[in-house]
Each structure stands twice: as structure tokens, then as C-alpha cells.
Amino acid sequence: MRILLVEDDRMIGEAVSIALKDAAYAVDWVKDGMAANSVLEHGEHQAVLLDLGLPKRDGLEVLRRLRQGGSSVPVIVITARDGVDDRIKGLDFGADDYLVKPFDVNELLARLRAVIRRQGGQAAPILSNGRVTLDPASHEARCGDTTELLSAREFSLLHALLLRPGTIFTRAELEEHIYGWNEEVESNAVDFLIHGIRKKLGADVIKNVRGAGWMVEKSI
């Protein structure tokens, strides 16, 4: 799961990046509004955390342009502007949620899970394809009778697959989900993680389609 963080305050940016990485997200961080828009054009992020008071281009303008460009990526506005008018404006401009500084990291993560879940078309907090279930809050996966706690990266990979059951993901796509820009992608990382998941939950949890990639089965 790859998140774009748009925040001009260096300390907040660094701290939130660490918090997101701890929660098994891949994080890319930009510090101004123009950079945010140009990065978002590529559509490689599953969610955006957007500050409003940004240099070069205001956060609301970033949001307006993003939605004008037809993107439906979930956006959580994080800002010190706490007036009701500001919140209404933010939501009307196309934000999916609104969080006022200072916020609790756990609340931020919960809201992030909620917007990503809704984006995947699922209202229930637990992801499932009928065979494997995954709890994004606790990182616990269950298959049949076995319940296992997944590592951050394992969770990240399974989460990506379970959000769109029946879809084949290439190695590059999976890597993109797991790693941020400045993180070095280890070779065989995807193979290694899939091996770990299969070992914990059973070999047939993730299907390998030769020459195409990996997938989890669509719910029956």
C-alpha cells in the first residue's frame, strides 16, 4: 500500500513517514503543492495525506486539480485549519476525510484504513475472499483454522492482493505497493514474502500464474 504524504513541515513530514512505515505502508513525501500534483499524475499511490497550507500551490488547489484530472484516489486532508467552513470546503473540494492537527497517529491510521477500504468497494473492515481473511487493524490473517500475525511487508502484499481478488498483479506492481521511492527494492523480495505467507497460511492461498504474476481467488 503506497501513500503520498504532502506536508511542508519537515518535522511533521519525517515523523508521519516513520509512523506510516511502522504501519506497513510505503510512503512517498513531497513538500509543495506543485510537486504533489505532478507526482499524482502517475497514479501510483493508493491514498494521499494532504496538508492545506503548502508552498507554491495551496492544498485545496492541489485537490481541485486532482479531482479535475479524474483521479478518485482517497485523500485525507490534514491541516491546522479547523474552522467548520474550512472543513466543509475541504470535503466539497473532494477530500474523503478531514483530520485536524494535532492528531493522534492511531486515528490517522484508522481513517487511512477506512478510506482505502471504501476505495476497494468494501465496507466491512475485514478483507476477505472467502478463503483468506485479513484484519488491516491488527495485521492478522486467517485461513481455515490457522490465524497468523503477518510482518509489515507480508501484510502489505496480501492486502494489495485481497483488495482486488481475481486480479493478477505483476512483480513490479507488487513491488510498487510495498516500497516507497527512496527505499531500495531487494531482489526476490516478492518471492520471499509470498513464500513466507504461504508458509504461514497454506500454499494455495496465493496463486501463481506462470508468466503473468500472482493473485488471490475471487470470492466464491
What type of residue is 139?
A: H
Q: Which of 4, 5, 6, 16 binds another protein (CB under 8 A)?
A: 16
Strand partners, 28: 4
Nearest CB to another protein, comparing residues 97 and 176 = 97
Nearest CB to another protein, comparing residues 7 and 176 = 7
Q: What are phi and psi of 198, to 5 degrees?
A: -60, -35
Q: Is 110 in the site for another protein (CB under 8 A)?
A: no
> Which uninterrupted H or E stretch holds 128?
strand 127-128
> Which uninterrupted H or E stretch holds 108?
helix 105-119
CB 28 within 8 A of CB 180: yes
Q: Is 101 in the site for another protein (CB under 8 A)?
A: yes
Q: Is 56 in the site for another protein (CB under 8 A)?
A: yes
Q: Is 18 in the site for another protein (CB under 8 A)?
A: yes
CB 147 within 8 A of CB 202: no
Q: Is 105 in the site for another protein (CB under 8 A)?
A: yes
Stretch of residues binding another protein (CB under 8 A), selected from 9-17, 68-76, 139-147, 196-204: 9-17
Q: Is 10 in the site for another protein (CB under 8 A)?
A: yes
211 contact partners, CB below 8 Å, separation of at least 6: none
Q: Is 22 in the site for another protein (CB under 8 A)?
A: yes
Q: Which of 12, 114, 168, 189 binds another protein (CB under 8 A)?
A: 12
Stretch of residues binding another protein (CB under 8 A), selected from 10-18, 111-119, 171-179, 185-193: 10-18
Q: Is the dihedral of CA 93, 95, 98, 100 positive or negative?
A: negative
Q: Is the dihedral of CA 128, 42, 14, 16 positive or negative?
A: negative
Q: Is 41 in the site for another protein (CB under 8 A)?
A: no
Q: What is the DSSP pairing of strand 140-143 with strand 146-149?
A: antiparallel
Structure letter (DSSP) for residue 203: G
Q: Is 198 in the site for another protein (CB under 8 A)?
A: no
Nearest distance, CB of residue 215 and another protein, angstroms? 32
Nearest CB to another protein, comparing residues 14 and 41 = 14
What type of residue is 218?
A: K
Footprint on this chain of another protein (rule: CB under 8 A) = 8-12, 14-16, 18-19, 22, 31-32, 55-56, 80-81, 101-106
